[in-house]
Structure 1
Amino acid sequence: MDLTYTDQQNAFREEIRSWLAANIPAEPLQTFDTEEGFKQHREWEAKLNAGRWGMVTWPEELGGRGCDLIEWLIFEEEYYKVRAPLRVNQNGIFLLGPTLMEYGTDEQKERILPKMATGEEVWAQGWSEPNAGSDMAAIRSTAKLEGDKYIINGQKTWSTRAVWADWCFGMFRTDPESERHRGLTFILVPLDSPGITVRPIPQLDGLPGFAEIFFDNVEVAVENRLGDEGAGWSVAMATAGFERGLMLRSPARFQE
């Protein structure tokens, strides 16, 4: 087995090194758990995207570089070696983005992915609920289909990035008679929708790394459903699979 890098991989490494040397912020950005820091990180995402470094594993036709696993890890290694900014839109680019590519319609991909890539739209995740914890099959928040829209009621908690994010993805129970894994639907929700209240959850440092999201008769267009109604568990498990893959890119693995 040959464990050496190819000439192409070494050239890729030099390309990212050169770009980072020319573009990395001279001073560390503020934490994205502050409003100003969130803005700074959003701007950094736009800069990464302009250089085609924001979503290196995405297909080229969607603005990425079509990198394979080795190239992706080369990128992550070089990125975090120089302590480049953390990725504020991780929920979107690494979790929802690949899920959209697998389950989304062409219209959804065209509408959502470009703004996700530039940081114009940052995503929060809406998995946990107060009475469900990490047991996603115990979700109680509901989405009732009325015509061409869902009426959503309920609460999500420990939602990362939700304080300043633009959208939230999560599962909602569309069949009130269902139990556990059945009757759940994966829905994308604009966080500026009427009826939504986002309440920050302060951490020990006082900063809102997480938030609660309350839904009070929130209307969401059916076009924002990802996958079939009632098939949300399958979609969410795909998202969870992409999330597990992020363990490969833990910054601590690469920083010296």
Structure 2
Amino acid sequence: MKYEINWSVLWQESPYGELYYQLLLNGLGWTIFIALFAWILAFALGSFIGVMRTTDSKFWQIFGQGYVEVFRNIPLLVQIFLWYFVIPEFFWGSASTWLKQLSPVYTSIICLGFFTSARIAEQVKAGIEALPRGQRMASLALGLTSRQSYRYVLLPTAYRIMLPPLTSEFLSLVKNTSVCFTIGVMELMGQTNSMSEFTFKTFEALTAATTLYLLINLVVVLIARFLERKTSIPGFMTSH
């Protein structure tokens, strides 16, 4: 039996009282929400761990390496199940109850944030190590403390040369939000799956979702390239 493509299904009313294209746009909104807040968490944690791995302390280097290996090598799907189903069981009383009642949206943000932070930590470490050693030595010679050296000299330069790989990490994070529907988050992939199940129009649903993912990534890439041109450092900046 030949499959008939029918794009008008996007304008049909769903069982939830909204048109299917509206459901997909709602899912897109949740995808962007989760990605942005997970990125904030990932960037903060990744920067901290990345700096930790470039210090002279063996303890912090080993701790940072262990953090990266744990979160980078466990599959994301396994991690999101651990955060949602397993970790609340390690707490007792009201804390356990509160964690179990926590919205899966927040669980998704935490999971994606920690998962992506391990990858950002690698980028931060590589960015700092790519700088000439003379920069750190010169900042210390000027009387800056090690913390001030990172804050005012090393990290501002490292972030500028890390912009292309950081853009790639953010794009990966947007795509990784698609696993969140496995714990009940109705982001873009969740709404796509729902539309497919109700209408049996899998091709139309997946094509619409693919188009929306491509649009997000295109906007991110255009913004990133604009920032690259504005913040590029001659001799350091690399192109995509």
Q: TM-score range by the shorter chain?
A: under 0.3
Write 1 or 2 for the structure with the bigger share of strand: 1
Structure with higher helix content: 2
Larger Rg: 2
